[in-house]
A and B are shown apart, each in its own frame.
Chain A
Amino acid sequence: MTTTNPTLPGPGGLPEFEVDPALYRHLADAQVNVELDTGDMILNLGPQHPATHGTLRLVVRLDGERVVAADPVIGYMHRGYEKLTEVRTYPQITTLINRIDWLSSFANEVPFVAAAEELMGIEAPPRALQIRLVLTELSRIATFLLFLGEMGLQVGAITPAFYGFRDREYVLNLIEAVTGGRFHPNFNRIGGLKDDLPWGWLNDTRHTMEKVLDSCDTFETLVADNPIFEKRTRSIGIIPAELGAAYGVSGSNLRACGVDWDLRRDGRAFLPYSDLEWKVWTHPDGDSFARYWVRLQETRESARMVLQALDGLASGPVMAKVPRIIKVPEGENWVSCENPLGEMGYYVVSKGATGPFRVKIRSASFSNVSILPWLLRGVYVPDVITILGSLYFILGDIDR
């Protein structure tokens, strides 16, 4: 039987993309032969579900084991940050935006601070930029290590999750040693950083990066090369590249569709990535496995980038001269960067006051998850979980 993505009466306006039936062959093989009377059934996944990283509710309509329509219900963690930024000063806002994507808080701060710096015409010293790069990459490694472990959990393998949490702890310890905070560093200042690196940190980091590279090999053999894992993720949840981009899917999820686009290389250069030798990884398949594979390679790449950046660390101050009262001149600035989860950006509108007039927070997970109604149609219920896991979102990053 042919098992193309069925044309279903969704919420309307969803474009149809043909997917090669051969990709779904193993699904057809798995189909039970018995014809049962299966009327549509509404299944509530969440708001509390282990696969949802927070409080995402997913209402799926089922026909037998197949998803007919899926509607993500978000907003259980909406904290109104865009309204709150309008009554905060610029230095106070970094505290808020730490809590958007709480797995990589440091990476959240960087584009906002960069946006304010550009409007003010301040340049952070080279050493501060390099430390920002290192800490951003460490956040990425911490985020991805958790993903590499948890993804095993989504398909029923419990062991990788322990490795993931264990290895992430090493990296969080490094971040804590510099910033004092494991989850919410609040370490960026407009014009630089709060502090320099602590003594002995460089060697600790080098050792930890070797450990990270080792554990990536472990994940490769334990998870990615595992035939059961491949069967559960290959050709599941395929995002066509063009549709993914039009939905605003970004970051590793889009690179797993074969789009060679990384804002660290292709975006505005406010961190010195061009000084390093590194590679943008892509995978042509666009399925759950590709997303896992791309993040695995990117974890390795980030560890190598950190090692390189540590060798080339400039000396000098970590803070530029800034006035004590931060007033950002009138203007608008759009700055986005490659957050671990995708494109994270801030559109800052300033009226010359000590706080912004409006900040539009463009968070990666919001757009990544918005493709779910299209992506989940026609898949089987257990695959819903692997697709959710492989898209890798943080609820704070969806709800803001």
Chain B
Amino acid sequence: MADDTSPEGPADAAAGEPTAVPDVAAEASAEPVALDEAHQDLLARLEAALGDAIVETGVAVHDLVVRVRRDAWRQAGEACRRDLDCDYLSFIAGIDWLPTPRVAGDDAAGDTSSPVQPTEQTPGIAGSDGRFQVFAVVGSTARHWWLTLKTDLDEADPRVESWVPVYPGADWHERECWEMYGIVFDGHPSLRHIYLPAEFEGFPLRKDFPLLAREVKPWPGLVDVEGMPGEAPGAAEEVATT
């Protein structure tokens, strides 16, 4: 039965010495955030475990978002699992903060059938430094809380420590992240393609990777949108569709 199993989780096996903290002064969460009691407790526990490895914190609608230093990424995962009761790994994913390039054929002047993203790079919740970030959501099945962790990567050589020894479920998520963004996870047992064929070149979810379907056949735009009943013909082109 389930409770007959050994209590030693992978976290205990891998919980080594915390990585040496360099002298660079990372500012500890100075930004005041509106948090409820459970999340304040969560943040206090995380601060106790990670100290000045926390770069910045923020709130995304309801959830706490914590950005940690890159060298403390695995340590943060271990702290979540050990000190925060976060036994559940929801996902690990990457993000490319480069502004979305204009897609060929996507002439957005007045065309609301295709989104137009801002052209300047803005940081996300809890900030971002540079182009690539890895973020993960962990949760607690007993305490019912969620936590989003982020860390910045080096653009020229995006790599970070793997979470596989902490959460075994990180295996596939990190393979996907490597395949889609080219982010290398040090210590991952077999970083290989998961969705795409082994000979695939390029990293499709990077913002500068062209969406070939749009290159080959331009987006038709608003041509197929009918006007709402009672509207003058052509009014649909001026206002949006639903």
Contacts and interface: CB of A to CB of B under 8 A. Distances in A.
Interface of A: 11-20, 23, 74-75, 78, 80, 82-84, 86-89, 91-92, 118-119, 189, 238-243, 245-250, 254, 257-259, 261, 266-268, 284-286, 324-326, 330-334, 336, 343, 345, 347, 349, 351-358, 360, 362, 366-367, 370-371, 374, 399
Contacts of B5: 17-19, 240-243
Interface in B150-201: 164-165, 167-169, 171-173, 180, 188-190, 193-196
Given A240-B5, A242-B7, A354-B116, 18 more contacts: A13-B164, A13-B168, A14-B168, A15-B13, A18-B6, A88-B114, A238-B2, A247-B167, A248-B90, A248-B91, A268-B62, A284-B1, A332-B60, A332-B65, A334-B148, A347-B148, A351-B117, A366-B172
B4 interface: yes
Contacts of B47: none
B91 A360 contact: yes
Contact of A370 (B116, B141, B171, B242): B171
Interface string B84-122: 000111110101100010010010000011111110001
Nearest to A121: B61
B144 A266 contact: yes
B184 to A, nearest CB: 16
B13 to A, nearest CB: 7
A334 B168 contact: no
Interface residues of B, number: 70
Contact of B240 (A78, A325, A349, A367): A325
Contacts of A371: 169
Contact of A334 (B137, B165, B195, B204): B137
Contact of B6 (A17, A249, A357): A17
Contact of B195 (A247, A333, A399): A399
B240 A324 contact: yes
B33 interface: no
Contacts of B65: 332
B10 interface: yes
Nearest to B150: A332
B73 to A, nearest CB: 17
Contact of A246 (B89, B142, B146, B240): B89
Nearest to A244: B2
16 contacts: A14-B168, A87-B103, A88-B115, A89-B112, A238-B1, A238-B2, A243-B168, A246-B11, A284-B2, A332-B61, A332-B124, A334-B63, A352-B118, A353-B115, A355-B117, A358-B96
A370 B205 contact: no
Contacts of A331: 60-61, 125
A15 B91 contact: no
Contacts of A91: 241-242
A374 B168 contact: yes
Given A241-B2, A248-B89, A357-B117, A83 B211 contact: yes
B3 interface: yes
B61 A245 contact: no
Given A324-B239, A352-B118, A357-B117, A86 B100 contact: yes
Interface string B115-145: 1111000101100000000010100011010
Most chain B CB inside 10 Å of its own CB: which residue of A74, A250, A266, A267:
A266
B115 to A, nearest CB: 3
Nearest to A254: B141
A242 B168 CA distance: 11
A20 B113 contact: no
Contacts of B214: 87
Nearest to A248: B169
B242 A324 contact: yes
A204 B218 CA distance: 46
A40 B5 CA distance: 29
B1 A20 contact: yes
A80 B211 CA distance: 10
